[in-house]
Structure 1
Amino acid sequence: MGQLEGRTAVVTGGSTGIGLAAAQRLAAEGAHVFITGRRETELQKAVAAVGNATAVSGDVSVAADVDRLYERVREHGRGLDVLFANAGINHIAPLAELTEDIHDAVFDINVKGAFLTVRKALPLLNDGASVILTSSTAAEGGAAGMSAYGASKAAVRAYARAWADELGGRGVRVNVISPGPVNTPMWDAAFGDRAEEMKKTVAAGLPPGRVADPDEIAAAVAFLASSESSFVYGANLYVDGGMNQI
């Protein structure tokens, strides 16, 4: 603990799941964490759970909301050392049922949101800062009904490669985490009443025989945020229980 003492971090999608667990871990390491999300009630609960945190509600796909987030970070007066662009949504739909509205919603949050989050952070990023993007094993898999989600996460992976090259001269490291199945509310949003059944089915095919706890993904985020990963640029860190490895 204490690897990020005195640092400033931003976590998008920070009110639940992986984002909340990461915000808690970064705060435990000493960072002051700005968290953002679209649901004010959940966001305030998250601030209470994180402790050393500031909530700024907003939608990462809306430029004005992202500007408002970074204005609060600017007022904090210490720049930005860790940026975890984590906000994302999924919608399960086969191609025949994948409407333009659903497709656009997924890409607006997952791709445009990541772009705005990182692009608008550039004036605040301190030299040596760490930028972490959330991709997914779905970026490489071919799961039926997840084409829009998988494509959006593949785009995020491509962003990280280019941005790592562009920002490396400042010592700003851009990396990706690719979680496998994690026990988050996204299961309920994607599968509804079938969420527990789907988790058990997926877990049965993994070497650990279970899905991940969000804290296990947060540990990977903390590694990429810290100086322990000082020579890691453009990498994709799989935290997937072996899903895409075996």
Structure 2
Amino acid sequence: MNDYLRKNVVITGGSSGFGLVTAKLLADGGARVLITGRDPEALAVARAQLGDGAVAVRGDVGDLDDIDALAARAEAEFGGVDALFVNAGITRFMPFEAMTEAVYDEVFATNVKGAYFTVQKLAPLLREGGSVVLTTSVANVKGLEMISAYSASKAAVRSMTRSFARELLPRGIRVNAISPGPIATGILEKVMPKEAAEQTAAQMRDANPMGRFGDPAEIAKAFAFLAFDATFTTGAELVVDGGASQL
């Protein structure tokens, strides 16, 4: 399969979860992929899975110096970029009443500032006809407990998707978003105690119209569609949530 032969793709947050699965789909299809992440060990493991054509860059999108370094590395490796997946993000579970300034700033630095300046710094490398896909969340349209700051940050990303789409349109660059619902990435186990994670997962499955979690491969396919096939679509948000925000 060479569906993505000679395509150059940058994926932030590509060392785990559906970022990594997306990178694998593209690399297996012939693309050259550059992934980023904050954990050097996870990056090394991901790089080994993706093969010799992949590049792994350690970086934190909340740090503008790291974003500048990412842009410089992408230019050195690829010259031009065909698609950018702005996927790096964090979730912090905390009741509204207990929210601290430090946690709020951490969430917005990564999810909002990081996304904004990743697009700004990488946009000059995007080829005419290229595309940007940002990760939002069904939380940007639903009132969910424990993630008020995260939800607000993803609503901001949805808004900037439209703004970027308008501003990059003269260059023929499309900008869209993927809005995932519950996807089986293991994130709950990383941010919650085991028992709480299991209970939350069961509740989310029961509440979903399809009665299950999504597979990371379903996000990867959605990215590939928006990045390469949806050639008359820009400013849109593709919801991949089992109907959770629609039914």
TM (norm. structure 2) is: 0.96
2:22·2:217 contact (CA, 8 Å) conserved in 1? yes
Cα offset for 1:48?
1.1
SS in 1 for 2:132: strand
Q: Identify the residue that residue 65 of structure 1 maps to in structure 2.
A: 66
Cα offset for 1:30?
1.8
When structure 1 is superposed on structure 2, of 66-75 and 118-127 the one drifting more is 66-75
Same amino acid, percent of matched pairs = 47
Cα offset for 1:145?
1.1
Cα offset for 1:49?
1.3
TM (norm. structure 1) is: 0.96
Letter in structure 2 aligned against 1:205:
A
Cα offset for 1:170?
1.0
CA distance in 2, matches of 1:130, 1:184: 25
2:8·2:78 contact (CA, 8 Å) conserved in 1? no
SS in 2 for 1:237: strand
Q: Identify the residue that residue 138 of structure 2 maps to in structure 1.
A: 137
Letter in structure 1 aligned against 2:5:
E
Aligned counterparts, 1:45-124, within 5 A: 45-51=45-51, 52-124=53-125
Letter in structure 1 aligned against 2:11:
V
Work out the number of aligned pairs and report it: 245
Cα offset for 1:196?
2.1
Q: Identify the residue that residue 178 of structure 1 maps to in structure 2.
A: 179
SS in 2 for 1:118: helix
Cα offset for 1:187?
1.1
Q: 1:195 aligns with which of 194, 197, 202?
A: 197
CA distance in 1, matches of 2:216, 2:222: 10
CA distance in 2, matches of 1:91, 1:139: 15
CA distance in 2, matches of 1:18, 1:69: 20
Q: Identify the residue that residue 153 of structure 1 maps to in structure 2.
A: 154
Cα offset for 1:15?
0.7
- Indicate yes or no: 2:4 matched with 1:4: yes
SS in 1 for 2:119: helix
Pick closer, same or farther for the CA change 1:77–1:221 going to 2, 3 Å. closer
- Indicate yes or no: 2:26 matched with 1:26: yes
Cα offset for 1:78?
3.3
Q: 2:216 aligns with which of 214, 219, 223?
A: 214
SS in 2 for 1:119: helix
Letter in structure 2 aligned against 1:173:
R
Q: Identify the residue that residue 41 of structure 1 maps to in structure 2.
A: 41
CA distance in 1, matches of 2:203, 2:160: 32
Cα offset for 1:27?
1.3
When structure 1 is superposed on structure 2, of 71-80 and 173-182 the one drifting more is 71-80
Moved over 3 A (4+): none
SS in 2 for 1:234: coil
CA displacement 1:136-195 (0-9 Å, x = unmatched): 000011111110000000000000001101101111000000000011132123322221
1:200·1:210 contact (CA, 8 Å) conserved in 2? no
1:21·1:214 contact (CA, 8 Å) conserved in 2? yes
1:8·1:78 contact (CA, 8 Å) conserved in 2? no
CA displacement 1:26-78 (0-9 Å, x = unmatched): 21222101000100000010111122310010101111111111211111243
CA distance in 2, matches of 1:140, 1:82: 26
Cα offset for 1:87?
0.3
SS in 1 for 2:238: strand
CA distance in 1, matches of 2:107, 2:30: 33
Q: Identify the residue that residue 235 of structure 2 maps to in structure 1.
A: 234
